[in-house]
Amino acid sequence: MAAKAKEPNPADLKAIFGLEPAKAIDYLKGKGYAITWDWQEMLDQAHDQAFTVAKAMCLDLLSDIREALETALQKGQTLKQFTEALQPTLETQGWWGKQVIVDSQGVGELVQLGSPRRLQTIYQTNLQSAYMAGRKASMEETADTHPYWMYVAILDGKTRPSHRALHGKVFRHDDPIWSSIFPPNGFNCRCRVTALTEAAVKRRGLAVMSSQGLSFNDTVEIGTNKRTGEIRTASVTGLRLTDQGGKPITFRTDPGFNHAPGTGLADALQRKQAAAGLDEV
């Protein structure tokens, strides 16, 4: 039996991306808060502007969860440490296990609140997005010398075939495809992007691709609102590729991940500079 792949913790991500967590923390701190009932209510770029956890129905609770994530980034906490620190707080606030919760319309529903599995998803998705936002900001600063960006997947038994097919593909930093496929591209996506110089591309014999003619947009159904019957949809971006054996394969972002994390980071850094009296405007 193959060994179970190790899930990345903050120390792993820091080693992979070569970054201190400062920019990742700025990304988290730059967000506001949003109360949502279902994950489908807030998709794509909206996550750069507001921090949310589905069915966390008060600001105090959201604040506690985000503070725990910021601490995990600052201290390099593992998932186990993050869970051990946050779970007692959530239990004290009554946000744990299955409970009947009344939504903003006064309708009660039996729902799953906090659980080890939910905390794992919150931890991995938010930390990956934060680190990748920081990574993207750093890569944009060096685009003059490192203008080519290469998609890198973790090649193990847990890697999705379409993400594996994108591994090693190179596009210019200003190719519009990066506005959609910059990782993470789904829950528990472990992919990343690395920047290359022109000399490195030539030395490694890499082909620089263009997304023109290969990319497309789809609208997909993502569930039905139980209270209204409304069918919810989301936009996803796709790329027509070939796998290592030359077989056609299609890559698609997961619903809700059709954007590059980092808009919130740029805003946060601007506010930080203004507060420090360094803004030139």
Q: Which of 92, 110, 132 is the last residue of a domain?
A: 132
Residues 6+ apart with CB under 8 A from 272: 26
Q: Is residue 26 part of a domain?
A: yes
Q: Is residue 240 part of a domain?
A: yes
Cα dihedral 231, 237, 240, 242 sign = negative
* Per-residue pLDDT tens digits for 9-36: 555 555 444 455 677 878 788 788 888 8
The answer to whether 209 touches 170, Cβ cutoff 8 Å, is yes
The answer to whether 24 touches 73, Cβ cutoff 8 Å, is yes
Beta-bridge partner residues of 98: 112
* Per-residue pLDDT tens digits for 101-133: 876 677 778 889 999 999 999 998 888 888 888
Q: How many other C-beta atoms are found inside a 10 Å radius of the C-beta of residue 206?
A: 15
Looking at the fold, whether 155 and 67 belong to one and the same domain comes out as no
Pick from 140, 23, 3, 133: which is nearest to 73 by CA? Answer: 23
- Tell me which amino acid residue 166 is: L
Looking at the fold, whether 117 and 202 belong to one and the same domain comes out as no
Tell me how many domains the chain contains.
Answer: 2
Residue 223: per-residue pLDDT = 86
CA separation (Å) from 197 to 65, 135, 191? Answer: 39, 16, 20
Tokens at residue 67, please?
């503070």
Can you tell me the mean pLDDT for 135-143?
90
Alpha-carbon distance 201 to 84, whole Å? Answer: 44
Beta-bridge partner residues of 170: 150, 208
Beta-bridge partner residues of 132: none
Tokens at residue 177, please?
């495809």
Mapped to the 3 state alphabet, what secondary structure does 110-178 carry? Answer: EEECCCHHHHHHHHHHHHHHHHHHHHHHHHHHCCCCCCEEEEECCCCCCCCHHHHHHCCCEEECCCCCH
Q: Is residue 247 part of a domain?
A: yes
Q: Is residue 5 part of a domain?
A: no
Q: Is residue 281 part of a domain?
A: no
Looking at the fold, whether 113 and 182 belong to one and the same domain comes out as no
The answer to whether 57 touches 63, Cβ cutoff 8 Å, is no
Looking at the fold, whether 162 and 244 belong to one and the same domain comes out as yes
What is the number of residues in the chain?
281
* Per-residue pLDDT tens digits for 195-251: 999 999 999 999 999 999 999 999 999 888 777 788 989 999 999 998 778 889 999
Q: Is residue 2 part of a domain?
A: no
| Domain that residue 83 falls in | 10-132
Mapped to the 3 state alphabet, what secondary structure does 44-113 carry? Answer: CCHHHHEECCCCCCCHHHHHHHHHHHHHHHHHCCCHHHHHHHHHHHHHHCCCCCEEEEECCCCCEEEEEC
Q: Is residue 276 part of a domain?
A: no
Residue 96: per-residue pLDDT = 95
Looking at the fold, whether 172 and 247 belong to one and the same domain comes out as yes
CA 61 centroid distance within chain: 21
Looking at the fold, whether 246 and 162 belong to one and the same domain comes out as yes
Among 49-58, 59-68, 161-170, which stretch is predicted with the lowest mean pLDDT?
49-58
Looking at the fold, whether 151 and 213 belong to one and the same domain comes out as yes
Tokens at residue 80, please?
């186990």
Looking at the fold, whether 109 and 152 belong to one and the same domain comes out as no
